[in-house]
Structure 1
Amino acid sequence: MFNFRQLPWILVCIFLFAGCATQSGKNKMGSTSSDTKERAQTRYDLETMYQLGRKYQDEARFTEAITTYENILSIDPNYAEAHNGLGVIYSIQGKFEPALQHLQRAVALAPLASHLRNNLGYTYFLLGRKPEAISEFEQALRLDPGNEKARANIAAIRNKTDMTDATGE
């Protein structure tokens, strides 16, 4: 038979256990829902900044693009596409040492990204480092056989090598 005098204690226990289950809004990973929302907002903000950097880069407004990419990296030093953007711009400007540093970092952060391998290969090509360039272009094509830029770059480097061999230069 049910004892009504125990009802308040049962309710107190239920509320205590329910409170423990939802304490501070933590999810199974240990982060709070507000932390998750903040991270999502930060990712969105970084992506928005990256798109702005790309716009500047496409318009050859390199100073603004560099500033934008550097701002991204000050927030998230592991944002591979910001490293890629800086590497491409520095290659265009002939600043090969920082270009290599950023492109190598981008590849280290996202080793399966074909376009990053292609961009690193192209910088090696500009530096005359043909074996490294070919290796990166081949890796880019293994990762994405449809990467037309990598295909064109590897063809160009092989044609240049063939022409050099034929002329004896």
Structure 2
Amino acid sequence: MSQIEELHNLGQRSFNLGNTKEALVHYNRILDIDPNDVKAQLKIGNILSKHGKYSEAIEHYDKVLEINDYDILALINKGLALHYLERYDDAIKCYKIILDKNPNSAITLYNLASSLVKQNKINQGLEHLKKAIKIDFSYKVKASRDIDFQHIKTKNEFKKIIL
């Protein structure tokens, strides 16, 4: 097993045990060896996002996208980080890149719907939410509980979709 593989295993084990600081140490050691290690960049981005450090996470997702401009995990996670920073237009751009190549990505449609609704583009958001639910029914339950949709819960258009 190579040193990088061993560090990935240690990082994942630390993460699984809830020790994200230790996991970050392992993933950063990987980047010291190979700054273009996509998996380590993604893991660091995800850990930073988990801790609400969205701007820092975006830096890691951008490094992945420099290597592969259509890395779905980097795009979806960058979109989510941008959404949490309330940069909805930028989040939507990430989602649209994915949907241009994969129009049936339920998670992307759902996230796009969420960002559109947060921009008060309710009808557009609900159209994308309908598409996401048609592909994956579990998004109906998710939407009914999602804080991003709370302010439209009483609207008949929303009720028709989730009830």
| 8 A contact 2:54–2:81 mirrored in 1 | yes
Matched, 1:153 2:150: no
Q: CA RMSD in A?
A: 2.5
| Structure 2 gaps, min length 5 | 124-150, 152-163
Matching residue of 1:96: 54
Aligned mates of 2:9, 2:75 — CA distance in 1:
21
- Shift of the alpha carbon at 1:48? 4.3
- Percent of counterpart pairs with the same letter? 25
Aligned residues: 124
Alpha-carbon contact 1:87-1:102 (below 8 Å) kept: yes
Aligned residue number for residue 89 of structure 2: 131
Is 1:141–2:99 an aligned residue pair?
yes
Q: Deviations over 1:119-157 (max 9, x none)?
A: 111111111111110000111233444543322211221
Letter in 1 for 2:73: H
Distance 1:66 1:128, change over 3 A: same
Kindly report which structure 2 residues correspond to 1:2-13, keeping only aligned pairs within 5 A, or say none: none
CA gap 1:148/1:164 in 2 versus in 1, 3 angstroms: closer
Report the structure number with the largest CA radius of gyration.
1
The match for 2:36 is 78
Q: Which residue of 1 aligns with 2:78?
A: 120
Specify every segment of 5 or more residues in structure 1 that has no aligned partner in the other structure, as ranges: 1-40
Cα contact 2:11–2:23 (8 A) shared by 1:
yes
Asked if 1:54 is matched to 2:4, the reply is no
Change (3 A) 1:121 1:58: farther
Conserved? CA contact 2:64–2:71, under 8 Å: no
